[in-house]
Every structure is written in C-alpha cells, then in structure tokens.
Amino acid sequence: MRALTFEPGSEGTLDVREVPDPRRGQGELLVEGLAVGICGTDRELIGAGYGWPPPGEERMVIGHESLGRVLEAPDGSAFSPGELVAGVVRRPDPAPCGACARGEFDMCRNGGYTERGIKELDGFASERWTVEAGYAVKVDRALESVGALVEPASVVAKAWEQIERIGARSWFEPRTLLVTGAGPIGLLAALLGRQRGLEVHVLDRSGPGLKSSLVEGIGATYHSGSSLAEFAEAKPDLIIECTGAGPLVIDAMTTTAAAGIVCLCGLSPGGRSHRVDAGVINRDIVLENDVVFGTVNGNLRHYRDAAAALAKADLGWLERLITRRVPLTRALEAFEPAGHDNVKTVIDLTA
Ligand SMILES: [Zn+2]
C-alpha cells in the first residue's frame, strides 16, 4: 500500500512510497484511510524541526489528523465495518505518570508519551492503518467530507472544557468571547463559542475574504487587524489566543473583563523580545482575579466532544474550512505555502 513517509530530523525526505500492509493486532481495528489534515506541526516535522521515528526505524508515516472507514473490527468491540472513525494521536507514557494512569495523557507530566505521526509511532497518512479500539472515536457518517477536522476540534474541545472547569471556581456566566487568529483552531474555537450561545468576536490580520465570511457565517463578528486596542473598553469575558504572536499574547492578559480567562492555544517562535510592563500586567491579573492558562492536545473524551460538536455544526460551513484537497499521489503539494485565505489543507488518501 502507499503511505506518505519522511525521515524525522532530515529535511526534504517526505515522499509517497510503498510500505507493507499493516497487520491488525488483538483489540485493534483495521481502517481504510480516507483523509488526513495537515497543520503547522506537520510542516515543522518535514522541515526537520521536530519528530522522532519509531524505535529501530529511520522513516515514519506522517499524519495525525485522521479520518478512516473501519474495514475489520474485533468481535465484541463497539465498532463495525463501514463506520467512520478518527484515531487518537497520543498514547500514555509507559511509566505511567499519574495523569496518564487516569486516561489524561493530554496532561502527561513526564513527557514520556508517544504520538501517532509525531513521536515514535507511525501516523495515519496511509491507505490503510490500524488503531486500538480504545483509541478510536466514531465519526457521524454525515461528516465523511470533513471528519479530518475531529483532531483539531479535539484540541478546541479540551480548551473549552478547561475554560469551563476554571470558570467553575466562582459564579460563571460569560457573555463575550474574543478569538485571536482565524486559522482552523481559531475558527473552530469560535464555532464552539457560538454553540454555547456566546457573543463571539474574531480578530485576524486578513482583510475581508473567506475568513471574514466564515466568521460571519456562524453569527460572529470579524475584526481585521493586529492589535487588541479596539477591545480596551468593552473587554471580553474570555479570550482564546490562537496566534502565538507575542504582542497579542501580552495584550490579551490585560484585555479581559474582571474574572476573565485567557486561554493560550498558539505556539510562538522564540527569539523575539517585547518590552512589557510586568507590574501593570500583574496588577491587572491580581485585581481582576484573572486566569491565564495554556492548553494543548486532547484525550479520548475531548475527541468524543469534538465529534459531537462537529455533528451539530452546519456541514456546508465545515466544508468551507477545508480550502485545499490534495490527492495522495500529489501529497507534497499539501505542504506548499498557501495564501491568507487558506484555512485547512487535507490529503485525500483514496486518490
Ligand atoms: Zn504521562
């Protein structure tokens, strides 16, 4: 079968090659790969910035945003042939730490976890793959064209769960949300905010175009710009920061209403310094009982939450998030830079 593989640590090694068919182990599903989504992590992986091959191997199958159709399932499992599934990315560390021992491997304390397509486990960009039944999530049949969004949506579902758990420290009825960055994570965060009945604002550098239209399509308000100055008066209750841009991260910390929550989801490059008045930031956070927290990854329940959130969303809107579909035969094109109006690129594993 064909798979999209690369050599972690070496740039320019990504290609589609023939690899042996996977063999289904006990308790595992055999799955026909339908699609994988591509994100910034994949671009870092093929740029040799990141990634570890499976022990004893040089190459690894890439792809962690999966969608497939079950071909074979173990007797007595919750899955049947024909159903759509997404595979969970992370596996607990072998120790395991206290979090991993409780299924909360997204909060692993010792960093010894493994990840499909990223860290020591083959990913999902192949014509067939296997997955343990306990690490597969059912995806509604209606989501066949967009099911590769389950993984990015799981990151967002976790962010929302954490916001709500933090909010529960006191009376919590947020009304307004600001999302910074209208990439896939930001747009999905805005979608889940609208599903919770919030007034949602999305800030992005792009001018009017697909992103503004997508934001307006869920009844949220689009703001084109790169500063939070316009939110200094009517401060939002919640900010989900998805750009990782230093100045926005810093401004977010002082731009929430009292008891505000700032959820940081973006990754910043290091090496850029910004002058800040730490005293002002500290004063604002203390005197307002604010919380600033970071979040990454998701565990099984977040994938389930994500699949449920996507099933409730407008399918046409989700389809517009996928702006490029590249067949596996031309998979390298999926990694070429795309314009500002590109949201999510997906590789079609059946073509
Ligand atoms: Zn752990």
pLDDT at residue 50, rounded to an integer: 84
Distance of CA 240 from the midpoint of ligand 1 (Å): 26
Query: What is the distance between the alpha carbons of residues 211 and 224, in angstroms, rounded to a whole number?
Result: 10
Distance of CA 115 from the midpoint of ligand 1 (Å): 12
Distance of CA 137 from the midpoint of ligand 1 (Å): 21
Distance of CA 101 from the midpoint of ligand 1 (Å): 7
Three-state secondary structure string covering the chain? CEEEEECCCCCCCCEEEECCCCCCCCCEEEEEEEEEEECHHHHHHHCCCCCECCCCCCCEECCCEEEEEEEECCCCCCCCCCCEEEECCEECCCCCCHHHHCCCHHHCCCCCCEEECCEEECCCCECEEEEEHHHEEEECHHHCCCHHHHHHHHHHHHHHHHHHHHHCCCCCCCCEEEEECCCHHHHHHHHHHHHCCCEEEEEECCCCCHHHHHHHHCCCEEEECCCCHHHCCCCCCEEEECCCCHHHHHHHHCCCCCCCEEEECCCCCCCCCCCCCHHHHHHHHHHCCCEEEECCCCCHHHHHHHHHHHHHCCHHHHHHHEEEEEEHHHHHHHHCCCCCCCCEEEEECCC
Distance of CA 104 from the midpoint of ligand 1 (Å): 8
Distance of CA 190 from the midpoint of ligand 1 (Å): 30
Query: What is the distance between the alpha carbons of residues 305 and 178, in angstroms, rounded to a whole number?
Result: 21
pTM of the model as a whole: 0.96
For residue 126, give the nearest of 43, 16, 14, 48 by alpha carbon.
16
Starting from the edge strand earliest in sequence, which strands make up the sheet with 90-91, in order?
90-91, 114-116, 120-121
Distance of CA 151 from the midpoint of ligand 1 (Å): 20
Asked whether 93 and 108 are in contact (CB, 8 A), the reply is yes
Distance of CA 196 from the midpoint of ligand 1 (Å): 31
pLDDT at residue 204, rounded to an integer: 97
Distance of CA 108 from the midpoint of ligand 1 (Å): 4
Distance of CA 96 from the midpoint of ligand 1 (Å): 5
pLDDT at residue 268, rounded to an integer: 85
pLDDT at residue 271, rounded to an integer: 84
Give helix 184-195 / helix 210-217 axis angle, nearest 10°.
Answer: 20
Quote the radius of gyration of the chain (alpha carbons, Å).
20
Query: What is the distance between the alpha carbons of residues 90 and 86, in angstroms, rounded to a whole number?
Result: 12
Distance of CA 297 from the midpoint of ligand 1 (Å): 13
pLDDT at residue 26, rounded to an integer: 95
For residue 188, give the nearest of 322, 36, 341, 335 by alpha carbon.
322
Distance of CA 91 from the midpoint of ligand 1 (Å): 9
Asked whether 256 and 226 are in contact (CB, 8 A), the reply is no
Distance of CA 109 from the midpoint of ligand 1 (Å): 5
Distance of CA 159 from the midpoint of ligand 1 (Å): 19
Q: What is the pLDDT of residues 86-132, one digit of tens each?
A: 999 999 999 999 999 999 999 999 999 999 999 999 999 999 999 99
pLDDT at residue 331, rounded to an integer: 96
Distance of CA 98 from the midpoint of ligand 1 (Å): 7
Tens of pLDDT along the chain (351 residues)?
Answer: 999 999 999 999 999 999 999 999 999 999 999 999 999 999 999 998 789 999 999 999 999 999 999 999 999 999 999 999 999 999 999 999 999 999 999 999 999 999 999 999 999 999 999 999 999 999 999 999 999 999 999 999 999 999 999 999 999 999 999 999 999 999 999 999 999 999 999 999 999 999 999 999 999 999 999 999 999 999 999 999 999 999 999 999 999 999 999 999 998 888 888 899 999 999 999 999 999 999 999 999 999 999 999 999 999 999 999 999 999 999 999 998 877 789 999 999 999
Distance of CA 153 from the midpoint of ligand 1 (Å): 22
Distance of CA 99 from the midpoint of ligand 1 (Å): 6
Distance of CA 124 from the midpoint of ligand 1 (Å): 23
